[in-house]
Structure 1
Amino acid sequence: MTGGAINRLTLFKIPQDEDQEKLLSIYREMPSRAVKDGKPYIRSVTAGKAKNDQRAQGYTVAVVSVFESEADMVYYDNECAAHQNLKAFAKTVHHGAMMVFFENEI
């Protein structure tokens, strides 16, 4: 890793509109609720419902989270209480999820 910001793209297949809204409401609070060493550590979160398009392949919610480092993303995955709550809800409503992460190379 070269030390650049980590961009994380997460896609969910959530059929029910009310469940999509609930997930988005949880993500809205993530930048302030996710704390590490007593302070927020996520650079930014951008999320929304996917527009109706055949290329979406059934994914209904897209989220881009930006972290200062891969270590922060690993903390988010394994230790962050706010993310654990989000995952607990998402597991009950999604019919598929996908995540990739990368450093900007352009």
Structure 2
Amino acid sequence: MVESKRLYRITLFKIPSTDDQKKLLDIYAEMPTKAVKDSKPYILSVTAGPARPDQRAQGYTVAVFSVFASLDDMLYYDNECAAHASLKSVAKTLHQGALMVYYESIFDN
């Protein structure tokens, strides 16, 4: 397999209720340890928080930045990870819109 660069993922949610924002953020806080692959945590980093009020936010109220060692790890997160499946089931009941992009940094060595 070809060695891949780290993968950076940005996820945004439109969740008007601050209580619901907190529910989702509490789940994200557990992702670095609850999300396991081959019995080990595999997400390199997760940071999340409420978006600062700004018209440029276009209604998005929660931002999440995740770092994966590879595209394979991110695809595992999306398709096979039990912890992420649980997070998604809760998020679907809370948000009124979501956006996700991912990329490999042109600045990574």
The answer to whether TM tops 0.5 is: yes
Mapped pair 1:56 → 2:57 = yes
Structure 1 match to 2:45: 44
TM superposition shift of 1:52: 0.3
Runs of 4+ in 1 over 6 A off after TM superposition: none
Tell me the C-alpha RMSD between the 2 structures: 1.0
* C-alpha distance after superposition, 1:21-73 (max 9, x if no partner): 01000000000000000000000001000000000000000000000000000
TM superposition shift of 1:2: 6.1
Cα distance in 1, alignment partners of residues 78 and 32 from structure 2: 14
Return 5+ residue gaps in structure 2 as ranges.
none
Cα distance in 2, alignment partners of residues 41 and 32 from structure 1: 8
Structure 2 match to 1:9: 10
The residue type paired with residue 12 of structure 1 is F
Structure 1 match to 2:68: 67
The residue type paired with residue 31 of structure 2 is M
Percent of aligned pairs with the same residue? 64
